[in-house]
Amino acid sequence: MNLIDEVNALIQEAGEADIMNAEALEEYRKRFLGTKNILKGYFAKMKDVEPENRKAFGQLLNEVKNQAETRYSEVQTLIRQATRVQHQLDLTAPATPIAAGARHPISLILNRIVDIFARIGFIVVEDREIEDDWHNFTAMNTPDDHPARDMQDTFYLKDSSTYLLRTHTSSVQARVMTQRKPPIRIIAPGRVYRNETISARSHCQFHQVEGLYVDKGVSFRDMKQTLYYFARELYGPETRIRLRPSYFPFTEPSAEMDVYWGLKDETDYRITKGTGWLEILGCGMVDPAVLENCGIDPNVYSGFAFGMGIERQGMQKYRINDIRQYFENDMRFLAHFGSAF
């Protein structure tokens, strides 16, 4: 086969090559259009062609190149169109199911507590987490030299003795009592901070719900019945509670309320320190000095207050034996609460 016959064969190959996919197209490009394509060898052989045939030979080589460029462009367009069709959405196809998330157990408990107290007229009030010393301590009957300040290890802001991360949501109660007139019936949920050693029973950050009821003629009996109602609504009608005398600077008399956890296994003994009871909240009658600090006449009005850790409520409700699990974002732990409540 002479050179002209070989080039004619290349023309036919370039125009009729069977190219099925992108890989085959790339091989086609390398053969006819690449930097080391087959035509370069034939152009080098131009000197071997008779002078009178060189022009026709050159035209044949150019025809091969043009044929290859046209064929390459056509197939490339077809492959791109096929790829776009494959990626188009089929609006009639069933949607891919999306796994639904679940609320965090703290949110579940908080929402439940808010709902329970809302039924008896308590409204939710929220406020700042960075608080000043007066609302966090002084207004709540805890002046600078009061020993009760030692009960709460406080995170103060850098280079400040005035501003701090609130140690309780009682600061919200102080702000409400200085801004509103009785009757006052609120609950104040939120995150609080204390410089405490992290363990199975305590953490340096946790969540509280504090309640306050101030009006004429409010008694300790009203407080006890309110908290008993709360415990039965949250834990069930057979729930047992007990009130123990305690001390808080902003209430007098003061008490701590326990819920019976039980002593069925080793975990129960560890969590309850062998008593079977788990402390869930502190409470008491609002100290007259607190009312006076906030501009409310203690000779006319009285009230009760209570505060509870939401994590403790969840430990009792869901039988969680380590408070640290709330903050570790372990999906195996959180997955248990997908159908809670």
pLDDT digits (tens, 9 = 90+) for 303-336: 999 999 888 778 777 778 788 888 888 888 887 7
By DSSP bridging, strand 130-132 and strand 205-215 are unpaired
Among the ranges given (30-34, 191-195, 299-303), the one the predictor scored with the smallest mean pLDDT? 30-34
Q: How far is CA 106 from CA 304, 311, 340, in A?
A: 25, 6, 11
Residue 341: its pLDDT value, please? 44
The reply to whether 94 falls in a domain is: no
Helix-then-strand count for the chain, H and E? 12, 9
Mean pLDDT across the chain: 84
Q: 28, 57, 87 — which closes off a domain? A: 87
Say whether 228 sits in a helix, a strand or coil: helix
Q: Which pLDDT value is given to residue 290?
A: 93
Query: Which of residues 87, 120, 137 is at a domain's end?
Result: 87
The pLDDT of residue 87 is: 57
Q: What are 64-86's pLDDT values in tens digits?
A: 888 888 888 888 888 787 766 55
pLDDT the model gives residue 303: 96
- CATH number of the domain at 250, please: 3.30.930.10
Asked whether residue 95 is domain-assigned, the answer is no
pLDDT per residue as tens digits for the range 10-25: 778 878 788 888 888 8
pLDDT at 183: 94
Contacts of 296 (CB under 8 A, 6+ apart): 177, 181, 182, 214
Q: What is the pLDDT of residues 221-236, one digit of tens each?
A: 999 999 999 999 988 8
**Secondary structure in 3-state letters for 175-210:** HHHHHCCCCEEEEEEEEEECCCCCCCCCCCEEEEEE
Rounded-to-integer distance, Cα 136 and Cα 154, Å: 10
Identify which of 30, 25, 10, 35 has the alpha carbon closest to the alpha carbon of residue 72: 25
- Segments forming the whole domain that contains residue 253: 105-337
